[in-house]
Structure formats: C-alpha cells, structure tokens
Structure 1
C-alpha cells in the first residue's frame, strides 16, 4: 500500500518553484556533519528565522550543523484578498472547512525534498538532516516527511498543522519508507491562544500522527502563546 506517497497524477501537477532569493544560510562552525532546513510562515522570509536562531546562539551550541532558511516564492494569497506575498502555498481560510491548495502544498513538499537531496549530495546522510517550519512552513515540512523516501533525523513543527490529512491513513500505516519511519522524532508546538492556526488544528494533527503509529511524536501546548514562537519553545530540549 502507498496511500501516503505522491501519485503519478500528482507528480504531473508538481512544477519547479521559482525562488525569488537564495536561502539564508548559517554554515557549520566545525566540520559539517548535519543539516537543519527550516521553512518560514506566510509573508515572511528566510532571513527572519536565521536572525531568531542567531539571537539564541543556537549555531554556537550545534557547531556541526549547517542551518538553511529558504524563502518562499511570491504568490497571490486568496485569504489576503489576492495580495501577493511570500507563501509556500495559497491559503483560502482560517477554519478546517476551507479549501486546501493541493497543488501548492505538493510543490512546497517537493521543493523541501529537493533541498534534502542537495544536502545528501553534499555528503550528509539523510538520517543527519532535520527539517522544520513555522505555520505554513511547518505544514509543508510535516507533509514532506510523510511522503519523502528518505529517513530523516527529525521534525520541528511550530504553530502548524498537517495539511491534506485525509490523504494519509488513520489506522493502517502506509507511508513511503515503511514501518521504520514510525521512529521518526517529531516535536509539534502550539500556542493555546493562537487565533490564526487554531489549537484544534494542532490537536487534530496530533490525533492523525498517533493514529498512524508514530512512536516519537510529541505535541506540546503553551499557555498565553498566540501565533508566534517564544523563549520556551526556541530553547526547548527534545
């Protein structure tokens, strides 16, 4: 079974994303033996999260890690009255009944997988590559890890949700890479007062991952946190 993989029909609608600027990168301070690829949220740029990681001195503690912060292409966003801004895919609404941009989500997922493969070509084993993201970026990351053929080091998903969740099995596992992916560490963090990606979205994502049998999936809720990150989230040890 292969319900979690991208079908040929879906592959036909996936096109190369035209990125408007190169990824912001923090090179490894010591020998490069691992990589983290982190995707920003709607309307943001990669440099913003580079500054966050830099501010908390994360690269100085993870000296062997190369940090990669891509910037999404500019596209019209339906939710924002068709205004053009950076986005990994279109957004139609803020509730669970809103239409999902399947084509855009698949494009973003493929783009992230291409970045993973670039790191592998540079000599980094997939098991030493971690992915993550905030909001839209986190959604793209969660989708990508379920459909990629690569085994990864882990996922950091902030204020986000699992998109196209109906395409994944709820009882029987059917993921690319098979049962071994059940041991993938996934940390999902969500603010209880998030007015954009509602808490319900995060909890439904938690149910989906647990239904698929992920053994190292952790969902953390934060009192007082809105659609943002916090000191507690950025400095968490997992």
Structure 2
C-alpha cells in the first residue's frame, strides 16, 4: 500500500487541558485556513473551547471532474454533483486513509476516539460521513453543514451492517439552508433520513433563507452540540 499522504493542518488550541478534538473539513476549493477564517468571520471569533482542539485540515490539490479537470483542493473527485451519480470510491477511500492519520495523531496525543467529533461543510460533510460511517464509527459524533451523500452511497450500507451486528453508532447533527442552490435542501434532508433508517440517531435542522454558506446561528448550534458530546467534566 502506498504511504499515507500527510495533510496540511491549522488548529485552534484549547485554552486549558486538551481532552477532546474536533476535525472540521472544508468545502471544495477551500483550505483549512480558509474555513477557519470563514468561521471566525461568521462567529465574531474562533470556534474555540477550553478543553477541545479544533483541527482544520486542507485537502490536496487534484483534478476535479465537475470543473472539467481543473486543479482544486477537493477531498475526492465526483463524476457530477448529483444524488444519482455513482461515487468516485477510489479517491474517497484514499482520502479516508489520509484523514485517518489525523485521527491517529490525536490518539497518540492522548485523545481517545470517543472524545473526537468529525464534521464538515459541503463536500467536507460528505467526506466526514464516509470517514465516520465506514472507518471510524466509534467517534463521539459527526456533523455536516450543507452536505449530502449520493443516493446509493456505500456509507449507508456500512451503517446498516453495523446496526445488524449490534455495534454502536455515532450521532449525527446536520444543518442545511432552505435556499441552497448548489446542494439542494432536499438532498441533505434525504441523506439524513437514509442515515436514520440505517440506524444513526440524527438531528436535521433547516435554516430558512440560508444559501450555500455558514451562518452565526448555525455555528452556535454546532458549538452547543459539540459541548453536549464532548463535555469538559466527564473525561475518561
């Protein structure tokens, strides 16, 4: 197997003892630093915690088919942006392994996986679904903002298999703007429904009038949810 490619990271360190981690994945064409700046602009400050490290990886640059093969920082390739398209599993699987090394580094730093949350915006949310549902279902949770999975995604089957085996599944927080013109609200809602049917405990929140973007109210909801999953006073 080829060596796992190390990803460029930026991070917001906790102000106190580090007992939890959030890995937040950017959308297509962005960077980790770009997402951190966007979050900071929307919230009026960093997504920051006393005890949680927030990590923003950057996807490697690769040819992206929906942009006619132009080079872009994307987590994986797509044949087209559609629920009905097959998944580009080769690129998805490869990136799951690369992102797995970020999780492994946190484990080596003393953070158990049940004290980690994986999430993302747009394509980053889809990447988070694959990473958690198929490879790291023992994390504390997964969140996805303005994201969707293809209708026949292998992530659904992986989740159903885990349910049948009576193995634990993570919880999902999903947020989507009702005016999103790039990733349709109904795609996100259907993804949430299919993951719930597969066995994941889901919470889907619609944001009226929000397009394909972040909002302060959305990010405050995400921050509160993270704290319910990774509370400061119950670290084991």
The alpha-carbon distance between structure 1 residues 35 and 49, as it changes in their structure 2 partners (threshold 3 A), is same
Among residues 217, 220, 223, which one is paired with 1:235 in the alignment?
220
Per-residue deviation, 1:206: 1.3
> Residues 35 and 48 of structure 1: is their aligned pair in 2 closer, same or farther, counting only changes over 3 Å?
same
Q: TM-score, normalised by structure 2?
A: 0.84
Name the SS for the 1:130 alignment partner: strand
Q: Does 1:191 align with 2:177?
A: yes
Q: Deviations over 1:140-160 (max 9, x none)?
A: 101111112451121121111
Per-residue deviation, 1:169: 5.2
**Alignment partner, residue 97 of structure 2:** 110
- How is 1:128-147 mapped onto 2 (pairs within 5 angstroms)? 128-147=115-134
Structure 1 unaligned spans of 5+: 1-11
Tell me, which stretches of 5 or more residues in structure 2 are unaligned? 226-236
1:93/1:35 Cα in 2 relative to 1: closer, same or farther (>3 Å)?
same
Name the structure with the higher helix share. 2
Q: TM-score, normalised by structure 1?
A: 0.83
Residue 4 of structure 2 corresponds to: 16
Alignment of 1:74-153 (within 5 A): 74-149=61-136, 151-153=138-140
Which residues in structure 2 correspond to 1:148-163 (within 5 Å)? 148-149=135-136, 151-163=138-150
User: Do structure 1's residue 29 and structure 2's residue 11 form an aligned pair?
Assistant: no
